[in-house]
Structure formats: C-alpha cells, structure tokens
Structure 1
Amino acid sequence: MTTYQDAVAVEATIAGQAWGETFGRVMWAVAGCFARREARTTAAELVAGLLLEVDTRNCWTLAQALGHPGPHRLQHLLSRARFDHERARQEIARLVIDELAGQDVVLVVDETGDAKSSTDCVGAGRRYSGAIGGVGLCQVAVHLAAVTATTKVLIDRALYLPADWAADEERREMTGVPEEIGFATKPQQALSMAADALAAGVKARWFAGDEVYCGRELRRGIRALGLGYTVGIAATYQVTDGAGRRREARRMVNKVRPEQWMRRQTGHGTKGTREYDWAWLDVRPDDAPDESENVNGAGTSVLVARRHRYTGEVSCFRCWAPGDIALGTLVEVISRRWRIEETFQLAKGFTGLDQGQVTCWNSWMRWSLFSLIAAAVLSLTAAAVHEAAEQQPDLVPLTCPELIRLLRALVLPPPVRDREHILHWTAWRRHHQAVATACHQQRHRRHDQP
C-alpha cells in the first residue's frame, strides 16, 4: 500500500503543477476579452471558485466562499461587465484544439436540460428532458464536445429557444436576447457549432449524435463539411436496403443471422470492460450534398446494430464514411458518443453548469462559459497528469473527480468560514430575503386592487 501511496503522492505533485500551468494558460487566453482588469480578476476567482467544496454554486454561495462581502461583483460580471463572452469562447476552443493537436477527434453533440421554476428565465418552457426525467419546465441547451481516445472537453454550447419563445418580443426584450438570435432547431444549432469548430481548426473526421440528430438535412450538412457520421436512429426509422426496398431498421436487424454478430469491446466501466454484439448491413445513402452521389453510391453507408449480450436489447445507428471503413472504427466512434454524458456529469456535479440561477441571456451565456472553462481546465489537467506520470498497473488512471479532491486538499484555497464572515452573510441573506418578501407581497396587493 505504501508503494501505491507514493505513486499517488507523485501524481498529486504533478497535478498541482499542471493545474497552475493550465489555469494560467486558460485565463491568459481570455484576458483580452475583458475591458477592465477588475472584471478579469473576478472571472479568474469565479472559475476557481466553481471548483470549491460548496453545497450549491451560484453568485451568493460562491461570493461567500470566496470572501466577498456580497454577491454584487459576481452578478456584475455575469450581467453588465464589458466582456466579449463569444470571443472568449472562441479563444478557449482554440486553446483546446492546440492541446488536442495530433489526436483523432470526434465531434459529439447532445443536449441537456436544467429544471427551472419560472418561464421568465430565458428559453424556459415545458418540454421533455432526460436530465429531469420527463416533461417539465426547463431550459435546454445543445452542447458540442471534442472527444479523443483519452480526453473529452466541451467546446461550445447553444441555448435552445422554442419557436413561441423566440417570437415573443416582450420576453426577448426583458431577457436581453440579441436581435440576430432567432429560432433554430437543435440539429441546425448542432450543424452551426460543428462548422464553427472546423473553421477554428479542429482536425476532426467524425460527427456523432443520438436520435435527435439523425435528420437528413443535418446529415447532408455534415457530409458537406467533409465529416463521416454515426447517429442513433429509432427502431421504426425507415431506411432503404441495398435492393432499393424501404424497411424499418428493426426489420432489417431481424434478418441478421447469428453468425453475423461480432462481439467487440466498447470501453471500461466501474465493473470492468463493456462488451456488446455488433452487426452491420448495407443501406443506400439519402443525404449526399450532390444528389447524383445518392445514385452512384459514393462512400460507405451502413446500418449498424448493437445488441446487449445479456438482455438482447438492440440499438441502431445510421453511419456514413467517405471511403471504405471497418466495423471496428464505427464501433469506436459510436462508443465515444457516450462520453459526452460524462462531461455533463462533470460540469453539473463539479462546476455548476445547471446551478447558476440566472434568468437573462448574457448571464446564461457567461455562467455556462465559466462552467465549461472550469471543466476544460480539469480535463486538460488530468490529461497532462496521465502523460507525465508513470501509470501504475494496480491503480486506475486519475479521474477528474479524484483530481478535484486532490486540488481541493492541496492547491485550491478552502472556502472562507471564519465567524465574522459567516455572521455577516447570515445577516445579509436574511435582510435581502425580508426585502424580497415585502416587495412580493406589495406586488400581490397592487394586483388585487380593482
């Protein structure tokens, strides 16, 4: 056990150095996006504060943990400070691209929802979200991740505005939605982010998504960008087989003979390696940018089926590659899509992606940006530790949650918890809540007057 502890101690030292270097590079990359030094300093405090050990992460709790006398500095940074957050997002994306240079990158897209209590929040509406486990009042945002064999980093996001919300001029004005932002479907947002990533210099060959992103227009756009794709499809999705017959995907999969299924490893979990049975069938493409290619059959268009080795549950994926491709390569790309769920868990569990309690456009864009920056610093730090430290065969690689525990214990300052500070914040919160209660009651009385 002492040998393992010595190895972990070495990793902790490397992690502390890698954290300082990565954090410094990230904040230097966005330094030119701030008009004032004070806002830049507050932004660095916020990024580091998101990783502190606090119960929830919002302007109140983080300001208290950082030792501020009130939340006003953080609230000003999110809402009114002169800060080009779109340029900052581009700079962070370029930094991540440089860090991933030379690696095989897959662009993965997925959406996630955050539960809300009021329709006054920008983009909030009643809709289905897997993150909240059903239909409810929530915000939904589409995210784009750059995933390699060892690293996964969110590099872009777009808040989804439902058609009725995007057309409501009063709500748009109240929340500060820019005039150039209109209604766009989730596939349209995904295609736009993928195009921006490639224009920024991402060296990707593949795009991956779930059933939301299997539409023909998106697949045609992805092909026009020069990418292959693997997208999930429903069992009832109609495809055209090699003979030109339209069939449901599940009916085609039912024709696969037992000897045609191949078992392949798809990754590692907490209980060991994950293995599924895989098969593929030829289908005709329907999404070529040049319609004549649909007839000529350029590239490789296949339907890939994945079967659970115990339950027999089958999932289907529509795939296209610009040239000849092996099943193992498609399995690798499909498997990388699942890793975006791990980035959501990291961003929500440790960097407060869904805890901001912000209501306006600028505040949402900036809070989500700082959360993604904090998550990116963690991912790049973990990658640097993996590269520099000698891997112990009896220890799993250092994960981001374990890295956060090390940073909190050895590098990050502890939350401010002295007696006077706690008493000050207790008094501030109770007074603020009393004023809010009085204003709320006064509003009700005015509303009830004839």
Structure 2
Amino acid sequence: MTTYQETVAAEATIAEQAWAETFGRAMAAVAGCFARRETRATMAELVAGLLMEVDTRNCWTLGQALGHPGPHRLQHLLSRARFDHERAREEIARLVAGELAGQEVVLVADETGDAKSSTDCVGAGPQYSGALGGVGLCQVAVHLAAVTATMKVIVDRALYLPADWAADEERREVAGVPEEVVFATKPQQALSMVTGVLASGLDARWFAGDEVYCGRELRRGIRALGLGYTVGIAATYQVTDGAGHRWEARKLINKVRPEQWLRRRTGHGAKGTREYDWAWLEVRPDDTPGGNGNGNGNGNAAGAGAGAGTSVLVARRHRYTGEVSYFRCWAPGDVPLGTLVEVICRRWRIEETFQLAKGFTGLDQGQVTCWNSWMRWSLFSLIAAAVLALTAAAVHDGSERQPRLVPLTCPELIRLLRAIVLSPPARDRDHVLHWTAWRRHHQAVATACHQQRHRRHDQP
C-alpha cells in the first residue's frame, strides 16, 4: 500500500504542475477576446470556480463561493461584457488541436437536453431529450467531441432552436438571438461544427453519430470533408446491396452465416470486459459528393477493395440477449472490420463527457435565459472540462503508474485539485451572513413583483 501511496503522491505533484501550465495556456489563448482586463480576470475566476466543491453552480452560488459581495460581476460577464465568445471557442479548439496532434481523432456528435420551466428561455420548448427520457419542456444542444484512444474532450456546441422558436421574432428579440442565426436541423449544426473544427487545425479522420446523424445530406458533407464515418441506423433503414437490390438492414444482415460473426472486445465496464459479436456486408454508397445520390448508379459499387472506398453495413449483436444494432459506415480506402468497430465504440465516450461536464463543471446548471448568457456559460463549462481532460492526459503521459492502479480519471483529478490547487469556497461567518441576507431580500422583492404582476393581469 505504501508503494501505491508514493505513486499517487508523485501523480499529485505532476497534476499540480500540469494544471497550472494547462490552465495558464487556456487563459492566454482567450485573453485577446476580452476588451477589459477586469472582465478577463472574472472569466478566469469563473472557470476555476466551476470546479469548486459546491452543491450547484450558478451566478449566486459561485459568487458566494468566490467571495464576491453579490452575483453582479458574474452576471455582467455572461450577459453584457464585451467579449467575443465565438473567437474564444475557436482559440480553445486550436489549443485542443495542438494537444491532439499525431493522434487518430474521431469527431463524435450528440445532443443533450436541460429541463426548463418556461419557454422564455432561449430555445426552450416541448421537444425530445434522451437526458429527460422523453418529450419535455427543455433546451437541446448539439455537442461535438474529439475522441482519441486516451482522451475525450468537447470542442464545440450549438443550441438547437426549434422551428417555431426560430421564427418567433418577439421571443428572438427578448432573448437577444442574433439575426444571422436561423433554423437549422441537428445534422446541419453537426456538419457546420465539424467544418469549423477542421478549419481550426484539428486533424481528424472519422465522424461518428447515432441515428439522428445518419441523413444523406450530412454523410455527403462528411465525405466532402475527406472523413470516413460510422453512423447508427434503424433496423428498418433501407440499403442497397452490391447487386442493386434494396433491403431493410435487419433483413440484409440475415445473409450473414453463423460462422461469419466475429466476437470482439469493445471496452471495459463496471462488470468487466465488454464483448459483442460483429458482422459486416458490402452495400452501395448513396452519398457520393457530386453523385446522383440514389445508391444505384454505376461506378458507386462499394465494399472493401472498391476504388471509391469501403461502404459497408455493420451489425453488432449482444452475446447474451441477441439484440442487434446497425451502423452504416464508409471510409476512404480499405479498412478492416476492427477499425470500424473501434470508431463505433468511441462514439459512446461522448456520454462520459456529458456526465463530466454536468456533474463537475455545471454545463446544465447555469440558469441562464438569453442567447449570450447561454453561449458563454456553456463555453466556460467546456473550457473547464477541456483543461481537466488535458491535465489528466499530461499526468497519464508523464508518470509510471503501478500495475494495480487504474489511470487517473477526471473525477479523481478534480478531488486532487480541490485539495492541493483550487481555493476552497469562502465560508467565513460574516460572508455567509451577508449572502443569506442578500438572498432573502432579493427573493422577497422578486415575490412581491411576481404577485403584483399577477394582480395587474387579473384586473378587468
């Protein structure tokens, strides 16, 4: 046990140094996006404050934890401060691109939702969210993550505006939605983010997504950018085999003989190694850039060894339940099944980034209602998560761990940083009493205004 403790102590020292270096580079990268030094300093406080050990994260709780006399500085930063948050996002993407140089990167798109109580919040409306487990009043945002064999980090996000919300001029004006922002589908948002991230210098080879991102327009755009893709499809999704016949995915996969299913390890879980049975069949591509797009044209024949690339239908079967999932895949050139399986499995890791961002950097806790506030809060949350991921990668690369110790995870890294680097939340008696009085007075005023508004509406 002493040997393990010495190893952990060495990792803690490396983590402290790596955090200081990575956090400093991140703050330097976005420094030019601010018009005033004071605003830039408040941003650095907020990003570090998001990692503090507090119950919830919003302007009130973080203002108190940081020792501010009120939430006004943080609220000003989110809503009115002169700050180019789009440029800041690009600078952070360039920073991440530099750190991932030389690694095989998979860009993964997925959306997540945050429950809301009013449609006055920008983009909020009745819509489906997997995080809510169905349809509910929520905001939905599409995120793009860069995933390698050892790292996962979100590099961009886009708030989804439902069609009715995007067309409502009154609500747009109240929420401060820019005029150039128009309705876009989630696949269109994903393609736009992929294009922007590649332009920032990130060297990626693959794109992965679930059934939401299997549309032909998105797949054609991904191919035009020079990437391969693996996207989930429904069992009833129709594909064209090499002979030109149309099949549902579930029926075409029945052509696979029992001995053609291959069992492959796909990762590790709480109960041990995950293993599934995999199979693939050649299909014709229907998304050739500049092609006719019907999947039946001559010269679009696919498969391993085809000159135009590898176009296949991949099936994953659970070894116990027999449940089958389907994926449409394309790659420029010849690739083995093992490579496609690895890319498909990396898609699942974006869920881990959501858990980290929501659990430790307050991605869904901002309680913001306007466009600028949402864009900036989500940006600061993603910066904090990116610094964590890059710090963990630096610790993993720079230390020799014991064989009976798992690599340092981001949750464990946060616990170390809270103990040795991050300032503890301000909890002295006078400060706590000041905030208690401020909160109660503010809530009393808000209650009186709310009741007065109701009375005015009730008058004939």
TM over 0.5: same fold? yes
1:261 maps to 261
Once the two structures are superposed, residues 136-185 of structure 1 have per-residue CA deviations (whole angstroms, 9 ceiling, x without a partner) of 00000000111111011100000000111000000000000000000000
Q: Distance in 1 between matches of 2:179 and 2:117?
A: 26
For residue 155 of structure 2, give the secondary structure of its aligned residue in structure 1. Answer: strand
Higher alpha-carbon deviation: 266-275 or 432-441: 266-275
Instruction: Tell me the residue number matched to 2:310.
Output: 300
Q: Which residue in 2 is equivalent to 1:195?
A: 195
Give the 5 Å matches for 1:113-192: 113-192=113-192
* TM-superposition CA deviations, 1:85-142 (whole Å, max 9, x none): 0000000000000011111111110000000011000000001100111110000000
Relative distance call for 1:292 and 1:358 in structure 2 (3 A) is closer
Counterpart in 1 of 2:431?
421
The TM-score normalised by the length of structure 1 is 0.99
Residue of structure 2 in register with 1:104 after alignment: 104
Which string of whole-angstrom CA distances, capped at 9 and with x for unpartnered residues, describes residues 44-101 of structure 1?
0000000000000000000000000100000000000000000000000000000111
Q: Quote the Cα distance in structure 1 between the aligned partners of 2:273 and 2:420.
A: 32
Q: Distance in 1 between matches of 2:401 and 2:275?
A: 24
Shift of 1:272: 2.2
1:412 is matched with 422
- Partner Cα separation in structure 2 for residue 445 and residue 292 of structure 1: 63
- Percent of aligned pairs with the same amino acid: 85
Determine helix, strand or coil for the equivalent of 1:30: helix
**Matches of 1:36 and 1:65 in 2, distance apart?**
23
| Structure 1 runs, 4 residues or longer, greater than 2 Å off | 292-295
Give the deviation of 1:295 after TM superposition: 2.6
Structure 1: how far apart are the matches of 2:263 and 2:342? 13
Q: 1:254, CA displacement in angstroms?
A: 2.2
**Normalised by the size of structure 2, how large is the TM-score?**
0.97
Quote the residue 1:205 is aligned against: 205
Match of 1:215 in 2: 215
User: Within 1, Cα distance between the matches of 2:419 and 2:200?
Assistant: 36
Code of the aligned partner of 1:282: E
* 2:289 partner SS: coil
1:90 aligns with 2:100: no
Extract unaligned runs of 5+ from structure 2: 301-307
2:382 is equivalent to residue 379 of structure 1: no
1:329 alignment counterpart: 339
Q: Which amino acid aligns with 2:316?
A: R
Q: Deviations over 1:389-422 (max 9, x none)?
A: 1021100000000000111111111101111111
Q: Quote how far apart the aligned CAs of 1:199 are.
A: 1.0
Match of 1:42 in 2: 42
Amino acid at match of 1:427: A
**Corresponding position of 1:279:** 279
Match for residue 303 of structure 2?
none
Q: Which of the numbers 446, 449, 460 marks the counterpart of 1:436?
A: 446
Q: Which amino acid aligns with 1:138?
A: C
2:321 pairs with 1:318: no
Give the corresponding residue for 1:356: 366
Amino acid at match of 1:296: G
Letter in 2 for 1:233: I
Supply the AA of the counterpart residue of 1:2. T
Q: CA RMSD in A?
A: 0.9
**Alpha-carbon distance, 1:387 to partner:** 0.4
Residue type at the aligned position of 1:68? H
Aligned to 1:447: 457
Aligned match of 1:403: 413
Alignment partners' CA distance in 1, 2:292 and 2:39: 54
Please state if 1:241 is matched with 2:241.
yes
Distance 1:419 1:292 in 2: 71
For 2:61, the equivalent position in structure 1 comes to: 61
The amino acid that maps onto 1:106 is V
Q: Cα offset for 1:257?
A: 1.4
Counterpart secondary structure, 1:12: helix
What corresponds to 2:377 in structure 1?
367
**1:262-285 per-position Cα deviation (integer Å, ceiling 9, x unaligned):** 011111222322111100011111
Gaps of 5+ in 1: none
Structure 1 counterpart of 2:71: 71
SS of residue in 2 equivalent to 1:128: strand
In the TM superposition, residue 290 of structure 1 has moved relative to its aligned partner by 2.6
Residue 298 of structure 2 aligns to a residue whose secondary structure is helix
* 1:312-369 CA distance string (max 9 Å, x none): 1110000001111100000010011111110000000000000000000000000000
Q: Deviation of residue 292 (structure 1)?
A: 6.5
The residue matched to 1:295 in structure 2 has which SS?
A: coil
- What is the CA–CA distance in structure 2 between the aligned matches of 1:190 and 1:143, rounded to whole Å? 8
Distance in 2 between residues matched to 1:61 and 1:253, nearest whole Å: 54
Matching residue's letter, 1:408: R
